[in-house]
A and B are shown apart, each in its own frame.
Chain A
Amino acid sequence: MTVATAGNRWVARSPGARLAGRRLLTVIPVLLGVTFLTFVVMNLLPGDAAQELLGVNATPAEVHQLEIQLHLNEPFWVRYGNWLGGLFHGDLGTSLTSGQNVTAILGQRLPVTAELLLYAFVASILLAVGLAVLAARRPNGVADRISMVVSMTGLSVAPYVLALVLIYVFAVRLHWFPAIGYTSLTQNPEANLRSLTLPAAAIAFPLFAVYTRLLRADIVEQMQREDYIVTARAKGVRPWRVLCRHALPNSLFGLITLVALNLGTLVGAVAIIEPIFSLPGVGAILISSINNHDVPVVEGIVVVFAVVVVLANLLADMLYATLDPRIRYERSAA
């Protein structure tokens, strides 16, 4: 018994590390795949950066001149290879439009986007857990019906519509938050949060709707179908504790999966929301970069998001292991 248990403890630490290691290895092919696909798409589109920079009135000779300057005349593979090579050295290239170092651009803009998304995520998850628990306490009760209406609204509203409505109500009419503009965290924390609240809400509300719906359904399912819930009730445990200590931890798996899955779609949300609020994040320049065929900038943004998505999925896996000891300790008894 002693030997077996000791062996069990030792094995327990490894699976987590092994899992992490395995996952990190998958980062590279995914990154390659995503960046390659982006490169392909950008190059398939008609037109190029030189054309965009010089405008419609430029002569073909001028365009060609600029193309040579920007290395755009080299074959596809060479360009991709160069960029990839640069990536391994940590050099993401320079913007074709502004000439700025892409890393520098990202360095300036990423913190804004990161803070915005973090704000949105934390808010949406916390609120979702809160509302889902309240709703699941009494299925088809008052809180539950409210949660369904709220969820349905959040699922049906377009983020850009929500953003504008929020601006109108809270900025134009009530003057609680600024309609546009951004104050950095270091300058003024309070103004920083206020400038990010409306855009974060526009992003968070649809997420919150989906999360609440899923979590509520999972919790209710646990409460109604699982035997250990009956055991807990038979012990005389209070209903709130049964809900929060027993049902909730076992219901989080679906939510975690969904959150990790959703991260990729946030690129799109950010690309629309940031310009509306004039936030100096990466989303704001994504569309213009696509328009200008500024490949290095687009690739840079894509790389960052791809890494974040992969890391998020890795984090999700680790969270599964934390929540479910069956994953952590692989040994199962006879």
Chain B
Amino acid sequence: MSAPLPELLAPAQPQGVPAARPRGRGRAPNLRIWLPAGFLIALFCACFFWPLVYPVPKPIGGSILNSGLPPLSPGHIFGTDPVGNDIFSRILHGGQVSFEVGLSVTAIGLAIGGLLGVAAAYWGGAADTAISRVLDVFIAFPALVLALAIAEGLGPSELHVIWALAIFSIPAFGRIARGATLTLREQTFMLAARLSGTRGRRMITRHIVPNIMPQLLTFSLLGIGVVMILEGALSFLGLGIPPPEPSWGSMIAQGQQTISASPDLVLIPSAFLFATVVSLNVLGDALRERWANPMGQSR
């Protein structure tokens, strides 16, 4: 009886989304998408392409004669570390590591975890319970401890870090995908598809995947940030990328020793890590709001 009323009384909020952000008009939401996206793309290109295009000093094997230069020194825009390596170059290469790990772990999680989650929700019954329990065990376990153990046991290397972190990315995506698929199943158009004979693979590829993709993608963006921080943590503890290869995390760890004398050794990689994760979070948030109504219930 009062069906139109809630809509009339709450016109400005998109349905089902906690009002976490102002619903701006015109430029504001676009800015929240394009500014961080632009920064991320620029950073990505800088990390991967700048060293190829522009001559940049190597990130390792620097001369001890050059050690400890402050930022804005000639030839070393961010200065050098106590061993003589150029910080700017190390930032770029460290960024490569962060992006590589972040993207691979998330991709693995999305592919395997997403598939598992969708399968569990689609099949339901015993298969669902089995898969869910397994996922829950991993989610319940203290992630960092296990990642530490695995990384330590396998030995520090970028690939091992990716595996160690993927073990947590998969259950997280699994849970999200499963939840999203379950809510999707209740929608009427899904029933229509089922009744018209759509089954199995076609159902998944044509109907389920396109509709849960927005949710999974925003989760991915937020997830990349988390993975970057975790990779940083592992490297910080000496269990990630083996030195002297640069990683933002290990750079921060190194800088800790000289934090009073040269704080920029800590602050510069920290700033980059922070800026990257913030951009990912803001972008993920903005996209989630934009896609809050994937069923397109216009009113």
Residues of chain A whose beta carbon lies under 8 Å from any beta carbon of chain B:
33-34, 37, 41-42, 44-47, 139-140, 145, 148, 152-153, 155-161, 164-165, 167-168, 172, 213, 216-218, 220-221, 224-225, 264-265, 267-269, 271-272, 276, 286-287, 290-291, 302, 305
Contact residues in A for B140 (Cβ distance below 8 Å) = 34, 264
Docked-complex contact A287 and B281, CB < 8 angstroms: no
Answer whether A224 and B148 are a contact pair too, CB < 8 Å, given A156-B274, A158-B229: no
CA distance A156 to B225 in the complex (A): 7
Contact residues in A for B237 (Cβ distance below 8 Å) = 272, 287
Contact residues in A for B97 (Cβ distance below 8 Å) = none
Docked-complex contact A291 and B152, CB < 8 angstroms: yes
Residue of B nearest to A136 (CB): B19
Residue of B nearest to A164 (CB): B266
- 12 additional contacts, CB 8 Å, given A157-B274, A158-B274, A221-B19? A145-B22, A148-B20, A155-B281, A156-B281, A157-B277, A164-B266, A172-B259, A213-B20, A225-B10, A276-B256, A290-B145, A290-B148
Docked-complex contact A37 and B137, CB < 8 angstroms: yes
Proximity bits, B255-280, A CB within 8 Å = 1, else 0: 11001100100110010011001101
Docked-complex contact B274 and A268, CB < 8 angstroms: no
CA distance A139 to B273 in the complex (A): 30
Docked-complex contact B252 and A164, CB < 8 angstroms: yes
26 contacts between A and B (CB under 8 A): A41-B149, A139-B22, A145-B22, A152-B282, A153-B278, A156-B225, A158-B273, A158-B274, A160-B252, A164-B259, A164-B266, A164-B270, A165-B266, A167-B259, A168-B259, A168-B266, A217-B18, A224-B19, A225-B6, A264-B140, A264-B142, A267-B142, A267-B144, A268-B144, A286-B145, A287-B237
Pair count A-B, CB < 8 A: 121
CA distance A184 to B153 in the complex (A): 35
Docked-complex contact B267 and A46, CB < 8 angstroms: no
B13 at the interface (CB under 8 A from A): yes
Residues of chain B whose beta carbon lies under 8 Å from any beta carbon of chain A:
6, 10, 13, 18-22, 137, 140-146, 148-150, 152-153, 225, 229, 232-233, 236-237, 249, 252, 255-256, 259-260, 263, 266-267, 270, 273-274, 277-278, 280-282, 285
CB distance from B79 to the nearest CB of A (A): 16
Answer whether A268 and B282 are a contact pair too, CB < 8 Å, given A33-B137, A164-B256, A290-B152: no
Contact residues in A for B229 (Cβ distance below 8 Å) = 158
Contact residues in A for B6 (Cβ distance below 8 Å) = 225
Contact residues in A for B141 (Cβ distance below 8 Å) = 34, 37, 264
CB distance from B43 to the nearest CB of A (A): 14
Docked-complex contact A220 and B18, CB < 8 angstroms: yes
Question: Quick one: which of B20, B225, B273 has the most chain A CB within 10 A?
Answer: B20
Question: Quick one: which of B13, B142, B273 has the most chain A CB within 10 A?
Answer: B142
Contact residues in A for B137 (Cβ distance below 8 Å) = 33, 37
CB distance from B234 to the nearest CB of A (A): 10
The 10 closest A-B pairs by CB, nearest first: A268-B144, A217-B18, A45-B153, A156-B278, A156-B277, A267-B142, A158-B229, A140-B22, A161-B270, A220-B19
CA distance A84 to B120 in the complex (A): 35
CB distance from B169 to the nearest CB of A (A): 15
User: Which listed residue (A37, A165, A291, A302) contacts B270, Cβ 8 A?
Assistant: A165
CA distance A52 to B229 in the complex (A): 29
User: Which listed residue (B144, B146, B153, B233) contacts A46, Cβ 8 A?
Assistant: B153
Contact residues in B for A287 (Cβ distance below 8 Å) = 148, 237
Docked-complex contact B267 and A224, CB < 8 angstroms: no
CB distance from B35 to the nearest CB of A (A): 13
Docked-complex contact A224 and B233, CB < 8 angstroms: no
User: Which listed residue (B18, B145, B285) contacts A267, Cβ 8 A?
Assistant: B145
Docked-complex contact B267 and A168, CB < 8 angstroms: yes
Contact residues in B for A265 (Cβ distance below 8 Å) = 142-144
Contact residues in A for B146 (Cβ distance below 8 Å) = 41
CA distance A290 to B150 in the complex (A): 10
CA distance A224 to B18 in the complex (A): 10
Docked-complex contact B263 and A172, CB < 8 angstroms: yes
CB distance from A160 to the nearest CB of B (A): 5
CB distance from A268 to the nearest CB of B (A): 3
Residue of A nearest to B237 (CB): A287
Contact residues in A for B259 (Cβ distance below 8 Å) = 164, 167-168, 172
User: Which listed residue (B18, B20, B263) contacts A168, Cβ 8 A?
Assistant: B263
Contact residues in B for A172 (Cβ distance below 8 Å) = 259-260, 263
User: Which listed residue (A34, A160, A264) contacts B236, Cβ 8 A?
Assistant: A160
CB distance from A274 to the nearest CB of B (A): 12
Contact residues in B for A217 (Cβ distance below 8 Å) = 18-20
Contact residues in B for A153 (Cβ distance below 8 Å) = 278
CB distance from B173 to the nearest CB of A (A): 18
Residue of A nearest to B19 (CB): A220
CA distance A157 to B226 in the complex (A): 10
CA distance A307 to B6 in the complex (A): 45
Answer whether A158 and B145 are a contact pair too, CB < 8 Å, given A140-B22, A172-B259: no
Docked-complex contact A161 and B152, CB < 8 angstroms: no
CA distance A234 to B67 in the complex (A): 71
CA distance A44 to B154 in the complex (A): 10
CA distance A269 to B148 in the complex (A): 12
Contact residues in A for B274 (Cβ distance below 8 Å) = 156-158, 161
User: Which listed residue (A155, A167, A272) contacts B233, Cβ 8 A?
Assistant: A272
